[in-house]
Amino acid sequence: MRTTRFRQCLATAALGTALAAGLAMSGAANAQAYPSKTINYILPFNAGGESDLSARFQQAVFKKVAGVETVIQYMAGAGGAQAWSQLNSMPGDGYTIMGINLPHTVLQPMQKDVGYKTDDLTPVNYFHYTPDAIFVHADSPFKTLKDLIDFAKKSPGMLTFSGSGSNSSNNLAQVRFDELAGIKTTYIPFSGTAPAVTAILGKQTLAGFNYAPSGISHAGKMRMLAVASEKRMPAFPDVPTFRELGFDLVGGAYRGLSVPKSTPEDIRQKVSDIISGINADAGFRKKMEDGGFVLTDVGYKEMPAFVAAKKKEYTALADKLGIKKQ
């Protein structure tokens, strides 16, 4: 017992020293030109999702652009609402930035009181989106979008689309597409992109509304019939856009960054510039475009117009999804 106690004392002393050293270090960084220390990048989702992946891409070049590192922290819960509802209580010093997503941050508060309103968030930059796209299995008899529509017209409701989540961008796109093409299809929500893709690969559903990057990771096993980007994507030069085929469908999951409301104007602009700077990095650009992302450069100045337009678009669709407005 005596030796154990001695060992305990030793361990305690060591820990105490470590504690003191740690406290001293955390107090050191202060008042210098922004950014002068590591920036906390909070993601409202679990590690391993698409938001995580895109943040990891940014993290890899963050130091090069901003001069400081960024650390990714996860605060998953309630589809992002847990983190977003706490954003404004965090320090507005520019060292706390949080990922935000569309259409989530518009549709969620519309459906239910989730602890934040769309306008509580302070977006400073929307840096890319992953366009919605229709996929079928490589063996599928549907070779073109027209084949798919013909089938749906012949047998209403029989065409099943897998997609990521209810009231998501995939879900919105399916509702819009039904309307534009004058067809009726069945949307089967899955708990994320990976299981939704698995359903296509395993032929559980006839087709899927998914995001364009899946076309990269599952090349050769799935056929992309149309993509909801404005122009053809560099990664998929042979895949037509919905617009080319006569359907005005452009959209997907948009990713951006918000800061707490208390963040000063000049810091908001600086955060926005860092993110734009990362987007402008040639190596980063190539990786993202090869990966099926569409880079956008909606900076802090362009934000009000962009958000207003998106809100209008989603509000119109929300009625059709049956989301009750509050």
Nearer to another protein, 118 or 272 (CB): 118
Contacts of 154 (CB under 8 A, 6+ apart): none
CB of 143 to another protein, least distance (A): 21
Alpha-carbon distance of 42 to 40, in angstroms, equals 6
Alpha-carbon distance of 188 to 174, in angstroms, equals 10
Nearer to another protein, 23 or 33 (CB): 23
To which H or E segment does residue 301 belong? none
CB of 52 to another protein, least distance (A): 6
CB of 6 to another protein, least distance (A): 11
Alpha-carbon distance of 91 to 97, in angstroms, equals 10
CB of 79 to another protein, least distance (A): 6
CB of 287 to another protein, least distance (A): 7
Alpha-carbon distance of 56 to 39, in angstroms, equals 14
CB of 323 to another protein, least distance (A): 8
Asked if 295 and 87 touch (Cβ cutoff 8 Å), the reply is no
Nearer to another protein, 277 or 291 (CB): 291
Nearer to another protein, 104 or 310 (CB): 104
Asked if 145 and 223 touch (Cβ cutoff 8 Å), the reply is no
CB of 269 to another protein, least distance (A): 25
Alpha-carbon distance of 126 to 85, in angstroms, equals 19
Q: Is residue 151 left, alpha or beta, with left meaning phi > 0 and alpha meaning psi from -120 to 50?
A: alpha
Q: Rounded to whole angstroms, what are the CA distances from 7 to 2, 19, 20, 21, 197?
A: 9, 18, 20, 21, 54
Nearer to another protein, 49 or 92 (CB): 49
Nearer to another protein, 94 or 299 (CB): 94
List beta partners, residue 39.
70
